[in-house]
Amino acid sequence: MSKWETKIIETERGTFEVFTKGKGLPVCITHHYSEFNNTGDYFAETFTDSYKVYLVNLKEAGNSSKSIHPHELSMFDAVYDLEAIRKVLGYSSWIYAGHSTGGMIGVLYGIHCSPSLRSLIIVGSAARKYANSSSECIYHKGHPKFEYMQELIERLKNQNLSYAERFEISKERTKLSLFKPEKYDEYFSLNIHKKMSAVRMNFFIREEMIFDVTRQLISITTPTLIIGGRHDVQCPVSFSLEMQRLLPSSFLEIFEESNHYPFLEEASLFRNVVEEFEKNLVY
Q: What is the pLDDT of residues 29-73, one digit of tens each?
A: 999 999 999 999 999 999 999 999 999 999 999 999 999 999 999
Q: Is residue 33 situated within a structural domain?
A: yes
Q: How far apart are CA 194 and CA 31, in angstroms?
A: 11
Element (H, E) at 148: helix 146-156
Structure confidence by residue, pLDDT tens digits, 211-231: 999 999 999 999 999 999 999
Domain count, the chain: 1
Three-state secondary-structure class, residue 6: strand
Whether 94 shows a pLDDT value over 60: the answer reads yes
Contact 81, 96 (CB under 8 A): no
What one-character-per-residue DSSP string does 238-271 give? HHHHHHHHH-TTEEEEEETT-SS-HHHHTHHHHH
Whether 187 shows a pLDDT value over 60: the answer reads yes
Contact 64, 17 (CB under 8 A): yes
pTM of the full predicted structure?
0.94
Q: Is residue 173 situated within a structural domain?
A: no
Q: Which domain holds residue 13?
A: 5-133+192-279
Q: How many CA atoms lie within 13 A of 54 on its CB side?
A: 22
Q: Is residue 166 situated within a structural domain?
A: no
pLDDT of residue 166: 85
CATH of the domain at 98: 3.40.50.1820
Q: Is residue 215 situated within a structural domain?
A: yes
pLDDT of residue 283: 56
Q: How far apart are CA 113 and CA 173, in angstroms?
A: 35
Q: Is residue 155 situated within a structural domain?
A: no
Q: Is residue 36 situated within a structural domain?
A: yes
Closest CA to 96 of 28, 19, 20: 28
Q: Is residue 248 situated within a structural domain?
A: yes
Q: Is residue 199 situated within a structural domain?
A: yes
Whether 1 shows a pLDDT value over 80: the answer reads no
pLDDT of residue 72: 95
